[in-house]
Chains A and B, each alone.
Chain A
Amino acid sequence: MSDRISVAKTYKLYIGGAFPRSESGRSYPVTDSRGGFLANAAQGSRKDARDAVGAARKAFPGWSGATAYNRGQVLYRVAELLEGRREQFVAEVAASEGTKRGEALVDAAIDRWVWYAGWTDKIASVFGASNPVAGPYFSFSVPEPTGVVAVLAPQTSSLLGLVSVVAPVIAAGNTCVVVASQDRPLPAITLSEVLATSDVPGGVVNVLTGRTAEIAPWLAAHADVNALDLTGAPDAIKADLERAAAGTVKRLVRGGRGEPDWSREPDVSRMRAVLETKTVWHPMGV
């Protein structure tokens, strides 16, 4: 009797709800923390990034226009599916990060997703206002999503870090293009499979794998990207990316030096960074 040969998986990009290979035809080897081969991942290109931005833009009206109640349920559905595939994530996170804390990290990621799911229908009342202007007008301010957000995912924390940067962006009603951790991309691709089978509309989250430093400048300069999260950007090119982003006055989430402690309880700052405040005035009278 020979041992069973496992079915090896081909990991692909996630764009517009579909799983294409990279347009460039390239891939790169992904290894575990000890250098053992895990899989080849697609090495996304400039064209892939452009397609992803297009998909995110196309998905924006529907997602931002959905009711907050609906968005909350969709996000919670993602947590449900994450929970269902918990063991797979634990194995992938452990292999990627070389940690024995895989279970704790995955549980935290699931709980974080639930935390943000509960935010969708509270954002407007917490960040909005009825403005007591000195005149016969009704003036109110509502928070609105800024649009398409390009996210450079944390390089170290392959799942918890990723969830911590993606969930606030879509909870706030934006759509996004995420560049996964360059060396630890597999949990991100599996998360894509979860998103694809949950109720998140195609294009709301688009996941690219590949070289962050190669893809990021195109996203930073893209005129149809409204905000850029630099959390996972290599320090050496952060300032260049900020300069490129200035060309279209992009909103920036700069991220400090080094990676944040993702185990800390989150706050609202990541949602606030991708929200605009719209103030509407109307006269009052008879």
Chain B
Amino acid sequence: MSNWEYAPAPESRDIANLKPAYRMFVDGKFVEGSGEPLKTVNPATEEVLAEVSTASKADVDTAVKAARRAYDRVWGRMPGAERAKYIFRIARLVQERSRELAVLESLDNGKPIKESRDVDVPTAAAHFFYHAGWADKLGYAGFGPDPRPLGVAGQVIPWNFPLLMASWKIAPALACGNTVVLKPAETTPLTALVLAEICQQAELPPGVVNILPGAGDVGSELVNHAGVDKVAFTGSTEVGKLIQRSLAGSGKKMTMELGGKAANIVFDDAPLDQAVEGIVNGIFFNQGHVCCAGSRLLVQESIADELLEKLRTRVATLRVGDSLDKNTDVGAINSRAQLEKIQELAAAGEAEGAQRWTSPVPVPDKGFFFAPTVFSDVQQSMRIAREEIFGPVLSVLTFRTPDEAVAKANNTPYGLSAGIWTEKGSRILWAAQRMRAGVVWANTFNRFDPTAPFGGYQESGFGREGGRAGLEAYLDV
């Protein structure tokens, strides 16, 4: 019996049209920022991809003023039907340049090309397409006959889905008549700047969208700028709290999409093979860099051994490595700092007495990688059961009764997502109703769609993105 190995199937990096230098986008033009330039690296190889100019305090001010001008003079007063056409154009251009965007995203972020190609970029285009249609139908959204935009939106997004998060933020803001200043994450600025090129190609009026690369200080400058009417943040709960605190008394409208520690509950009647696929998708999709990742697996005790065995067998087949290889399942951790954080938490899991199992899969010598890891015998008090790890690390706990499952699932200050696996429909609805979480996936996991509202309970944030509910974030209602 011969051993059938996968041959490498690399996507060409030339498709990314990578440039040596990228500049920030303000008032319809690419301009040199006066902040300290940053170098963005490919986390799968540690090579420098490009130099990116960043914003200074003065640049933030310039961008906010440009956005205000565009809002007052053009975008805020433009009929919705005309706004819609610009946003539809952006959706189409994202689709046309999808392959380029996917490769660039995988280079800059480290995620597998199959995910950037099949999830990130198509969903980003879908968000523009969906919201474009709202622009001239806002009177039907359920907020009264003539809902008004808020003005200038300051938006700060994370590094786990750089293009998709930018689209989630920009599309509804524009549809509702706002203008935006967006700060991408410092480790993943490239696709947002290509999105800026797309805005230019769509002939979007100058100042409607502005993109300012930089680190947390630029984000802080932006959200606290007096000319910003609305702040939208996606990122860690810790930073979300800082922002909510610093905006106290400002009257600015806020939405927060923060961290999570989702419970994925497997009942004893679940279809186990499907559940295993869902568990794998729940925690190893995007290297576990997903705020709604199913990082706490709750298994009914009677099937725990069987499920764990199947799970380990399946996880051992996940291929870790080159993010541009079409066969790669788990790509690179986005940065050295994030890798160290994951390593620290995994070490804490071992120190606190959980049983560690790490996939024997080969891991590249260069780049930031972490082999898929499953902890069993996890107790609720352990750090790996309470803290968001944001990496390919699963913690497995057990339960005996449905009530215990619900109690354990809800035993967290977070409340972003949850998973339920059972063949019994009435039990799905029973459990879904009791989950204190904004998204509940039953017999599936990590599904996203612009028509389906997404967002958290409790310390996972407030406000929704997507659907009719998501429009509220950008309307004065």
Contacts and interface: CB of A to CB of B under 8 A. Distances in A.
A135 interface: yes
A280 B442 contact: yes
B440 A278 contact: yes
Given A129-B467, A278-B440, A239 B249 contact: yes
Interface stretch (A7-15, A70-78, A83-91, A248-256): A248-256
Interface string A107-119: 0000000000000
B415 to A, nearest CB: 8
B241 A238 contact: no
Contacts of A133: 447, 449, 451-452
Q: What are the 8 A-B residue pairs with the smallest beta carbon separation, nearest first?
A: A239-B249, A242-B248, A246-B244, A133-B449, A246-B245, A131-B452, A243-B248, A249-B459
28 contacts: A127-B469, A129-B469, A134-B126, A134-B451, A139-B451, A141-B453, A141-B469, A146-B457, A226-B458, A239-B249, A241-B248, A242-B244, A242-B249, A245-B248, A246-B241, A246-B248, A249-B240, A249-B244, A267-B144, A276-B438, A278-B437, A279-B440, A280-B439, A280-B442, A281-B440, A281-B441, A281-B447, A281-B452
B53 interface: no
Interface of A: 126-127, 129, 131-135, 137, 139, 141, 146, 223, 226, 238-243, 245-249, 251, 254, 256, 267, 269, 272, 276-283
B447 A238 contact: no
A153 B455 CA distance: 29
**Among the interface residues A134, A141, A239, which one has the most CB atoms of the partner chain B within 10 A?**
A141
Contacts of B469: 127, 129, 141, 277
A279 B258 CA distance: 17
A82 to B, nearest CB: 29
A276 B437 CA distance: 9
Contacts of B108: none
Interface in B360-414: 413
B256 interface: yes
A131 B449 contact: yes
Nearest to A249: B459
Interface in B224-276: 237, 240-242, 244-245, 247-249, 251, 256, 258
Chain A interface mostly: mixed
Contacts of B447: 133, 135, 137, 139, 281
A279 B452 contact: yes
Contacts of B467: 129, 131, 141, 277, 279
B432 interface: yes
B142 A126 contact: yes
Contacts of A256: 251
Nearest to B443: A283
B443 A278 contact: no
Nearest to A282: B442
Contacts of B258: 249
Contacts of A238: 249
B468 interface: yes
A282 B142 contact: no
A239 B454 CA distance: 29
Contacts of A278: 432, 435, 437-440
B287 to A, nearest CB: 22
Interface in B416-464: 428, 432, 435, 437-444, 447, 449, 451-455, 457-462, 464
A278 B453 CA distance: 8
Interface residues of B, number: 46
A283 B422 CA distance: 12
**Among the interface residues A127, A137, A240, A278, which one has the most CB atoms of the partner chain B within 10 A?**
A278
B466 to A, nearest CB: 8
B472 interface: yes
Nearest to B446: A281
A281 B442 contact: yes
A223 B468 CA distance: 30
B455 A277 contact: yes
Contacts of A134: 126, 449, 451
Contact of A282 (B244, B435, B444, B462): B444
Contacts of B461: 249
Nearest to A64: B433
A57 to B, nearest CB: 13
B316 interface: no
Contacts of A249: 237, 240-241, 244, 256, 258, 458-462
A124 to B, nearest CB: 12
B438 A139 contact: no
Contacts of A137: 444, 447
B262 to A, nearest CB: 13
Nearest to B122: A134
B477 interface: yes
A238 B142 CA distance: 30
A135 B449 contact: yes
Contact of B439 (A126, A247, A281): A281
Nearest to A141: B453
A127 B453 CA distance: 11
A247 B413 CA distance: 11
Contacts of A280: 432, 439-442
A283 B444 contact: yes
Contacts of B240: 249
A251 B463 CA distance: 9
B449 A139 contact: yes
B311 to A, nearest CB: 20
A146 B463 CA distance: 12
Given A134-B449, A279-B454, A281-B452, A251 B462 contact: yes
A178 B477 CA distance: 25
Contacts of A241: 248
Contacts of B142: 126-127
A280 B425 CA distance: 13
Contacts of B247: 242
A12 B56 CA distance: 57
Nearest to B444: A283
